[in-house]
């Protein structure tokens, strides 16, 4: 059993915020992989299903960001999970928009959601860091993360969430490199021209010689052709 946690703030007011990209990630997984309807549990919303061979529960804490650990701790206790069974999806100011990194353990870097989870589980759980960029000055951070994504962000955000969903089976299986590669392919698919160039390198049969249009095969007997030479 694995637990995927998306971090965010509950309620329609916050649904489109940059701070809620963790919610968006687990919502896309639930939608694309046929998970159960969301239901209230563990001071949040839970959805269950399978990713490949793994049973997986998806959790959106309803405690607001700075108390996320309460919800995650309850779910971990109920399912009898260790921190190694838990992956947390969260927004990351220190990564450019659309960039993604996966790591296990380490500090919380001032992220209030991670800080709360640290207090309940320790630091040995996995995280998927979802880049949202930095507003440029620390005084602008609060307003920035609690603002909605801009219209210009829609393309990369859609590709990122689709890539996370595409790679979710690999992530549940513990194959972080394959997960990251799957997301990368969704964000920057191979150019069609690459295949065209490869096709030109294939071996082809050498061209066959072509007789001039005026040339006609000589069907006469050897004796007739010899006699013709002496006449000239």
Domain boundaries along the sequence of the chain: 2-189
Least confident of 80-84, 128-132, 197-201, 219-223: 197-201
- Tell me if 4 sits within 8 A of 170, measured CB to CB: no
- pLDDT for the residue numbered 185: 95
- Tell me if 105 sits within 8 A of 123, measured CB to CB: yes
pLDDT > 90 fraction of the chain, expressed in percent and rounded: 79
- pLDDT for the residue numbered 214: 45
Count of other CB atoms within 10 angstroms of residue 91: 24
User: Per CATH, is 2-189 categorized as 3.40.50.1470?
Assistant: yes
- Tell me if 127 sits within 8 A of 104, measured CB to CB: yes
Q: Is 136 helix (H, G, I), strand (E, B) or coil?
A: coil
pTM for the model = 0.81
Across the range 133-157, mean pLDDT stands at 95
- pLDDT for the residue numbered 212: 47
Q: What is the dihedral of CA 81, 120, 177, 57, to 10 degrees?
A: 50
- pLDDT for the residue numbered 51: 98
Task: Name the residues annotated as catalytic.
Answer: 19
61-116 per-position pLDDT tens digit: 999 999 999 999 999 999 999 999 999 999 999 999 999 999 999 999 889 999 99
């Amino acid at each position: 059993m694995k637990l995927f946690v998306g971090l965010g703030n509950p309620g329609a007011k916050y649904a489109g915020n940059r701070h809620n990209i963790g919610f968006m990630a687990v919502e896309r997984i639930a939608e694309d992989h046929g998970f159960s309807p969301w239901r209230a549990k563990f001071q949040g919303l839970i959805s269950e299903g399978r990713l490949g061979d793994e049973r997986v529960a998806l959790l959106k804490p309803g405690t607001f960001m700075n108390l996320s650990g309460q919800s995650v701790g309850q779910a971990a206790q109920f399912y009898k999970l260790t921190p190694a069974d838990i992956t947390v999806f969260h927004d990351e100011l220190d990564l450019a928009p659309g960039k993604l990194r996966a790591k296990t353990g380490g500090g919380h870097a001032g992220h209030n959601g991670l800080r709360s989870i640290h207090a309940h589980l320790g630091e040995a759980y996995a995280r998927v860091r979802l880049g949202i960029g930095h507003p440029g000055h620390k005084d602008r951070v609060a307003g920035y993360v609690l603002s909605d994504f801009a219209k210009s962000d829609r393309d990369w955000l859609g590709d990122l969430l689709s890539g996370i969903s595409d790679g979710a089976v690999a992530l549940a299986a513990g194959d972080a490199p394959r997960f990251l590669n799957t997301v990368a392919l969704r964000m920057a698919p191979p150019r069609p021209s690459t295949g065209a160039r490869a096709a030109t390198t294939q071996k082809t049969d050498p061209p066959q010689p072509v007789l001039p249009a005026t040339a006609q095969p000589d069907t006469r007997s050897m004796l007739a052709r010899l006699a013709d030479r002496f006449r000239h």
